[in-house]
Amino acid sequence: MPHDAAARTSHARQLFAPLGPTYDRTAALLSFAQDPRWKRFLVSCVAPTLAPGSHTLDVATGTAAVAIDLATRTGCRVTGLDQSPEMLAAGRERVSRAGLAERVQLVEGSAEALPFGDATFDALTVTYLLRYVDDPAVQVRELARVVRPGGPLASLEFAVPAGAWRPLWDVYVGAVLPAAGRLLSPAWADVGRFLGPSIRGFYRDHPLAVQLDWWRAAGIHDVQARRLSVGGGVVIWGHRS
């Protein structure tokens, strides 16, 4: 994992550039269909407060899976932001196929300096971003900044299972995922090698309790977390104070 900020950003750009057209199907396959399930739970954390006409920001939207689900389930408008033009291109095709082009807008930009004013959005979702940014605590503050007081925020990230599942997870990310990636394509081989060390390193440096403190320090209240699928994923959510 690159250590300085510029290297981290450019590594993420290179990693995702070739993945757009195969991203959703492969992510579902490699997660044993848990990734779409986790995303549905993420959306359910913010959906109850969203009415048609309200406006949600989906950060690190990639191919817009969460943005599309939000718009379909709640009737809200969604802006999806990502730094990868290639992932966004795949996302725009999906949005257009879903007939949502009027309500889902995808924009290229950096999550670390969101191009929006304070309290612009009624809600915010973010998926698998924090391992790619320079300072994840600062990133959480930047996410909270653009949400109006009282608005919900929810984040989905991979996690490291505990107990008996931990050695199985180690084998999966250490051997099965790299081998499956090699079978699929050179680009997925890179992802297969990268993911295990990236997730393990993130939780070694920032245990879940520390992450929840970032959320509270960012002015988010009623912060909750739920581990999903034996702890392979975690959703954190709360409301802007």
Ligand X SMILES: C[S@@+](CC[C@H](N)C(=O)[O-])C[C@H]1O[C@@H](n2cnc3c(N)ncnc32)[C@H](O)[C@@H]1O
Closest CA to 131 of 108, 160, 105, 168: 160
Site membership for ligand X, residue 70 (CB under 6 A): no
Q: For residues 195 and 212, is the Cβ–Cβ distance under 8 A? A: no
Site membership for ligand X, residue 84 (CB under 6 A): yes
**From the list 26, 56, 74, 83, which residue makes contact with ligand X (rule: CB under 6 A)?**
83
Site membership for ligand X, residue 128 (CB under 6 A): yes
| Stretch 165-194 residues interacting with ligand X (CB under 6 A) | none
Other C-beta atoms lying within 10 Å of the C-beta of residue 181 = 21
Site membership for ligand X, residue 47 (CB under 6 A): no
Site membership for ligand X, residue 12 (CB under 6 A): yes
| Cα three-residue angle 114-117-118, rounded to 5 degrees | 100
Other C-beta atoms lying within 10 Å of the C-beta of residue 72 = 16
In the complex, least distance from residue 134 CB atom to ligand X, rounded to whole angstroms: 8
Site membership for ligand X, residue 61 (CB under 6 A): yes
Site membership for ligand X, residue 199 (CB under 6 A): no
Nearer to ligand X, 32 or 163 (CB): 32
Number of residues that bind ligand X (CB under 6 A): 21
Nearer to ligand X, 50 or 66 (CB): 66
Closest CA to 156 of 23, 89, 29, 65: 65
Q: For residues 72 and 97, is the Cβ–Cβ distance under 8 A? A: no
Closest CA to 159 of 122, 189, 196: 196
Site membership for ligand X, residue 129 (CB under 6 A): yes
Reduced to 3 states, what is the DSSP secondary structure of residue 158? strand
Interface contacts to ligand X, rule CB under 6 A: 9, 12, 16, 60-63, 65-66, 82-84, 87, 110-112, 127-129, 132-133
